[in-house]
């Protein structure tokens, strides 16, 4: 462009620098994206009774669909592969429930005796200075608590009604999870094809590539978390058994479920194990249990996670921490649980869509 051209003169006379224009456009796009995310989160919170079970079904499908596909590749009929997967899952759940129930029932007498002993020791401790909570004061506290219950019976009744409503929502959620998983096993590819064709035709190939990348990442992530959770549960559960801590299998179950919430879940599961060891077996076993929890979690964090994750799930630890914190702040436990798989899946889908080239997939 020459010095005397009209465009050069116009650029010199423009009071707004080009960098500021670019920044304004970028800010506008960013605000639109933030607004879209805000609306999506708001709508999801309004229909959380549907969204949470749907996401749970999607996560479960990411674990079961590859297993069903594996059986079908080995000449199993589709219906038999689907039924086998369901039988295995339901059998494991039923077996775990029976084992936990049996252990809790068998250890209830010892637990009641230990709780009584601990309460007596706590009462004697609180009766000393500086607390000064004598038996008479404790009786007064119990009496005042009983009076409070009588005065607030109506409020407690409404709370019980809310519990009943929550139970109904839980049953509805279980049915949604079952149906989402069942249809994903039967016709997951057909469902995704229908979703792709909702969008404009020019975007079909790019969306399809993004979906395949996201599904692969989600499947890998769930399998990795399953192995990590099982390792944590077995290590801490076996340690609790060796130390004679009561409810070792329920402790392992809590650790297993907590491992699906990175960082936070490991801390909570380990705290439950250490707390029970401290309460029922004394401070020496509490310290030993703490050592077992630390060793297992260090092994998981520095050996197992890097080895299993590799290049398949690329999420920076800072993104994981911020995602779990934001998810918990917005949607509680469900938000903390689903935040990391959602971030990992969306990250993979965005990269696949950005890097997509026609004829090169």
Structure tokens at 131: 């607390």
Task: Identify the segments of the chain with pLDDT beneath 70.
Answer: 1-14, 111-112, 114-167, 262-264, 305-314, 358-361
Angle 305-347-184 (CA atoms, 0-180°, nearest 5)? 85
**Which pLDDT belongs to residue 105?**
79
**Which pLDDT belongs to residue 27?**
92
In a 13 Å sphere around the CA of 332, the CA atoms on its Cβ side amount to 4
Tens of pLDDT, residue by residue over 121-174, are 666 655 555 555 555 665 565 566 555 555 555 554 555 445 456 667 778 888
Structure tokens at 319: 């993104």
Residue 360 β-bridge partners: 357
Q: Where are the domains of the chain?
A: 20-107+164-198, 202-361
Distance of CA 226 to the CA centre of its chain: 12
Tens of pLDDT, residue by residue over 262-310, are 666 777 778 888 888 887 778 888 899 889 888 888 887 777 766 666 5
Residue 109 CA: distances (Å) to CA of 52, 115, 207, 251, 317: 38, 10, 59, 18, 44
Per-residue b or e along 325-356, where b marks 16 or more CB atoms closer than 10 Å to that residue's CB:
eebbeebeebbbbbbbbbbbbebbbeebbeeb
Residues in the chain: 361
Specify burial of residue 148 (Cβ count, 10 A radius: 0-12, 13-18, 19+): exposed
Distance CA(45)–CA(330), nearest Å, equals: 9
């Amino acid at each position: 462009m020459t010095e005397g051209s009209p465009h050069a003169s116009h650029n010199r006379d423009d009071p707004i620098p080009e960098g500021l224009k670019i920044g304004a456009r970028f800010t506008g796009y960013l605000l639109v994206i933030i607004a879209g995310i805000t609306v999506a989160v708001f709508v999801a919170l309004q229909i959380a009774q549907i969204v949470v079970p749907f996401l749970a079904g999607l996560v479960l499908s990411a674990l079961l669909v590859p297993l069903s596909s594996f059986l079908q590749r080995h000449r199993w009929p589709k219906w038999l592969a689907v039924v086998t997967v369901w039988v295995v899952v339901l059998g494991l759940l039923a077996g775990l429930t029976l084992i936990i129930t049996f252990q809790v029932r068998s250890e209830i007498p010892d637990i009641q005796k230990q709780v009584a002993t601990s309460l007596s020791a706590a009462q004697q401790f609180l009766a000393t200075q500086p607390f000064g909570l004598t038996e008479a004061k404790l009786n007064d506290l119990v009496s005042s608590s009983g009076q409070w219950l009588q005065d607030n019976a109506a409020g407690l009744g409404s709370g019980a009604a809310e519990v009943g409503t929550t139970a109904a929502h839980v049953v509805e959620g279980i049915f949604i999870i079952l149906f989402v998983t069942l249809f994903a096993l039967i016709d997951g590819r057909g469902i995704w094809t229908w979703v792709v064709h909702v969008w404009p035709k020019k975007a079909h190939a790019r969306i399809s590539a993004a979906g395949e990348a996201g599904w692969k990442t989600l499947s890998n992530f769930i399998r990795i978390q399953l192995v990590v959770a099982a390792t944590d549960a077995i290590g801490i559960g076996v340690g609790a058994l060796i130390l004679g801590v009561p409810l070792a299998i329920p402790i392992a179950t809590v650790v297993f479920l907590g491992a699906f919430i990175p960082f936070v879940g490991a801390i909570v599961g380990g705290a439950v194990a250490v707390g029970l060891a401290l309460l029922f077996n004394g401070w020496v076993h509490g310290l030993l249990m703490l050592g077992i929890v630390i060793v297992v979690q260090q092994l998981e964090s520095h050996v197992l996670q890097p080895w299993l994750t590799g290049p398949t799930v690329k999420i920076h630890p800072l993104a994981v921490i911020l995602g779990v914190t934001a998810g918990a702040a917005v949607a509680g436990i469900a938000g903390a649980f689903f935040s990391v798989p959602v971030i990992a899946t969306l990250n993979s889908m965005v990269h696949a869509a950005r890097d997509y080239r026609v004829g090169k997939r």
